[in-house]
Amino acid sequence: MSDARSAAQLAERIARESYGRLVASLAARTRDLAAAEDALSEAFAAALRVWPQTGPPDNPEGWLFAAARRKLIDGARRAQTALAAQDALARAAEEIEAEMSAAALPDRRLGLLFACAHPAIDEGARTPLMLQTILGVSAERIAAAFLVEPAAMSQRLVRAKKRIRDAGISFEIPEPAAWPARIQAVQEAIYAAYTEGWSDAAGVDAARAGLTEEALWLARALAAHTPHDAESLGLLALFLHLEARRPARRDAQGRYQPLDRQDVSLWRKDWIEEAEALLLRAAALRRVGRFQLEAAIQSAHARRRHGDDPDWRAIAAFYAALIAISPSPVAQLNYCAAAARSEGPSAALTLLDEAADRFPVLGEYQPFWALRAHLCARTGANAAARAAFDQAIARERDPAVIAYLREQRAQVC
């Protein structure tokens, strides 16, 4: 019984960690993403049946790949696919088999990302397609993130996959001349994957686990392939700064630690140094963009590792620049938080009111109320502060953050 459970756990872990790699390899030659995804889910189902009896294979990823490939070839035969396509499948299988003998599956994820970002694909489908095929995010979850009806999102994804297959869009990483048209969509999808994973600090959601690591891997691969794109470097620098602090986001008791309370000795110094070096290289390219600005903000916070206070005036200026490039309610809120440190709580409360007028959606956002509560408490408006803490607590799901907010509220007499 425990064998069955551990085999199931192994299959689930491989499903999470290897999903994008398997899909990209299975579809590389046929370009048929839908068929690759179907074959892979059948292979996972087979693993759940077989592994508990036989014990898990030595190379589970290779086992799943071989099983999925057999399903693909069977499927092609059943559908009496044109001979040319069967031929392509058989060739792909041979090639990959040869590569497989070198132990690890070749990684084609970055090429698949560029395929999904092709200008021949509907613009609104590019990022969702990347999130689904490479990161295995479900259509429902993508629909929720993009504020689209699930049925409409599924349709959009199906159409885009058909187009990749039928138009013959390549899975190779394109020539540098083609990057400007596509790289932004690739960067945005990687960023979206990271934020989706980051918001689950407690790791309570299995579907999100692994998204940040995968996004970090993709950002590394992208920066290695496009070392002259300042934003690719900025994106990697941003992730490294955030990942460097992951060990400090919770204390030993699992309690939430806001940035200014984190124990800096827990920060990964090597990653911070790497991020700083990347930002310098990006700055030398003289093409500022949102990812570099976000990384620069994290860099300003990282001064605390030397015992220096963060430069709040600089942070506020970075947020102002970020808002000018890509306005968003979250950037606006963070600007207010930085201004609270450099300009004082009263000025920040005025800015916060303006932000809420501009982005009414902020009223549904926990950090908006938490910031308001802190600012009210600092101006001595204690009743207003307590009311704002209540609003914040009502909008939070993470128990560790709720506990932190309650503790903060209790300190307002």
Nearer to other proteins, 165 or 241 (CB): 165
Minimum distance from residue 58 beta carbon to other proteins (Å)? 35
The two tokens of residue 319 are 């947020």
Interface pick for other proteins out of 122, 166, 260, 353 (rule CB under 8 A): 166
Report the C-alpha gap between 76 and 26 in whole angstroms.
13
Q: Residue 309 is encoded by which pair of tokens?
A: 């206070």
Nearer to other proteins, 119 or 254 (CB): 119
Question: Which two structure tokens, joined as six digits, stand for 89?
Answer: 């499948």
If one asks whether residue 79 binds other proteins (CB under 8 A), the answer comes out as: no
| Residues near other proteins (CB under 8 A), total | 13
Which of the stretches 42-50, 162-170, 310-318, 322-330 binds other proteins when contact is defined by CB under 8 A?
Answer: 162-170
Using the rule CB under 8 A, is 84 a contact of other proteins?
yes
Q: How many CA atoms lie within 13 A of 240 on its CB side?
A: 23
Which residue, 1 or 84, is less far from other proteins as judged by CB?
84
Residue 118 binds other proteins, judged by CB under 8 A: yes
Q: By rule CB under 8 A, what string of x and - marks binding of each residue 213-252 to other proteins?
A: ----------------------------------------
Under rule CB under 8 A, residue 172 binds other proteins: yes
Nearer to other proteins, 29 or 141 (CB): 29
How does DSSP assign 259-327, residue by residue? GGGS-GGGS-HHHHHHHHHHHHHHHHTT---HHHHHHHHHHHHGGGGGTPPP-HHHHHHHHHHHHHHS-
Residue with smaller CB distance to other proteins, 108 or 290:
108
Binding other proteins (rule: CB under 8 A), the pick from 73, 178, 314, 330 is: 178
Rounded CA-CA distance 127/331 in Å is 21
85 forms part of the interface with other proteins (CB under 8 A): yes
Q: Does 82 bind other proteins (CB under 8 A)?
A: yes
Q: List the structure tokens of 56.
A: 């898990």
Query: How far, CA to CA in Å, does 158 sit from each of 9, 35, 172?
Result: 30, 11, 21
Among 152, 167, 204, 224, binds other proteins (CB under 8 A): 167
Q: Is 101 exposed, middle or buried (0-12, 13-18, 19+ CB in 10 A)?
A: exposed
Task: Please give the residues from 120 up to 149 whose contact with other proteins meets the rule CB under 8 A.
Answer: 120
Determine the length of the chain. 413
Whichever of 31 and 109 has its CB closer to other proteins, that residue is: 31
At 185, list the tokens.
């969509």
Say how many C-beta atoms besides its own lie within 10 A of residue 284's C-beta: 9
Closer of 167 and 324 to other proteins (Cβ) = 167
User: Could you give the CA distance from residue 137 to residue 129 in angstroms, rounded to a whole number?
Assistant: 9
**Beta carbon nearer to other proteins, 99 or 172:** 172
Residues engaged in binding other proteins (CB under 8 A): 82, 84-85, 118, 120, 166-170, 172, 174, 178
